[in-house]
Amino acid sequence: MDKTFFIVNPVGGKGKVSELWPGVKEKLHRAGLAFEFAETLKPMHAAKLAEEAVASGFRQMVAVGGDGTLNELVNGLMRQTVCTPDEVGVSILPFGTGNDWVRTQHIPTKTDAWIEKFLSAKEARTQDVGIAAYSDETGTRHQRYFVNVAGMAYDAFVVREIETEGKKSANSLLYLLMLFRLLRDYTPHLHRLELTLPGEAEKRRIEKEIHTLNVGICRYSGGGMQLVPHADPDDGLLALTLMEKLSKCEIILRLRDLYTGKLIQHRKAIAEQVSSLKVESGAHRPLLLEVDGEFVASCTDVFFSVSDSKLKLLI
């Protein structure tokens, strides 16, 4: 097995990674795994470490932390130009509070089970990588990759407020509580969407007051919610779910549907699988964007698509 580079987020899992990593290292050594590691020091540092690891010759990388750490690693991998992204195998040793991506990919959350599966894996799988290209409020263009679920409108508003309150490592219960607590602070506004549907020459246009919008490669987010239950991680498409303006009562009554995937059956829901999606604000308000549970930016427009490069999964 090739030498593996571990990118360790010491504050992951509410600081649990910093406490447990020395013991994990010892288990990895005892298992005979050849590896090096580096710890992240600031936001997006994992992306830089991933770029440097590829330049140093590593072709296997593991994020130690949560979905956000994995997202940063993948962004570094996709940005580097030393090799094609699918030449590098990727996994996560999960210590996050949500661990939504690992639910889809069936990755063990216990260290011993993870090491056993990692060492015995014989054939790599692949999954798609989403792209969110956006203009910030100064008009500067940016691009952020995602491997799980991106969100806009109320979804991104909740993520932003959680981070603003210093609760970046929000578990599923805290996320749910914040989702309800913040209802009074958010007013849905007009969004203009342009959908490219597979097999259809004409683009579909939607102009509605939207409460929340999600674009998924995988199906779980928010600590086990299924807002895009129709997502297939390897079909080359994006799963889109948008909810028109809802009353607070409607949201509370449909709580269970957030977890069962039945939300897309609501009369105010639109669920599609798209090749690409363009979103613009129909009001004098910025759009809010989050990817993989990390708030990204306030922006004027967002274009979602699927990368031509696949992500190679080690387990």
Is the Cα torsion angle 48, 49, 54, 57 positive or negative in sign? positive
Minimum mean pLDDT among 80-84, 227-231, 249-253, 289-293: which range? 249-253
Residues 6+ apart with CB under 8 A from 63: 6, 7, 9, 46, 69, 70, 72, 73, 90, 91, 92, 93
Is pLDDT of 168 > 70? no
What the chain holds in terms of domains, given with CATH numbers, is 4-122 (3.40.50.10330), 130-308 (2.60.200.40)
C-beta neighbour count of 16 within 10 angstroms: 17
* Three-state DSSP state, 29: helix
Environment class of 88 (CB within 10 Å of its CB; exposed 0-12, middle 13-18, buried 19+): buried
Q: Are 130 and 305 in contact (CB under 8 A)?
A: yes
pLDDT tens digit sequence for 61-101: 999 999 999 999 999 999 999 999 999 999 999 998 788 99
- Please choose, from the candidates 98, 70, 104, 99, the residue with its C-alpha nearest in 3D space to the C-alpha of residue 230: 104
Q: Are 281 and 137 in contact (CB under 8 A)?
A: no
Is pLDDT of 170 > 70? no
pLDDT tens digit sequence for 119-164: 998 778 999 999 999 999 899 999 999 999 999 999 999 999 988 8
pLDDT tens digit sequence for 209-240: 999 999 999 999 998 999 999 999 999 999 99
For residue 155, the 8-state DSSP code is H
- Please choose, from the candidates 36, 81, 30, the residue with its C-alpha nearest in 3D space to the C-alpha of residue 58: 36
Phi, psi (deg, nearest 5) at residue 43: -55, 140
The reported pLDDT for the residue numbered 169 is 57
C-beta neighbour count of 21 within 10 angstroms: 21
State what percent of residues in the chain have pLDDT above 70: 98
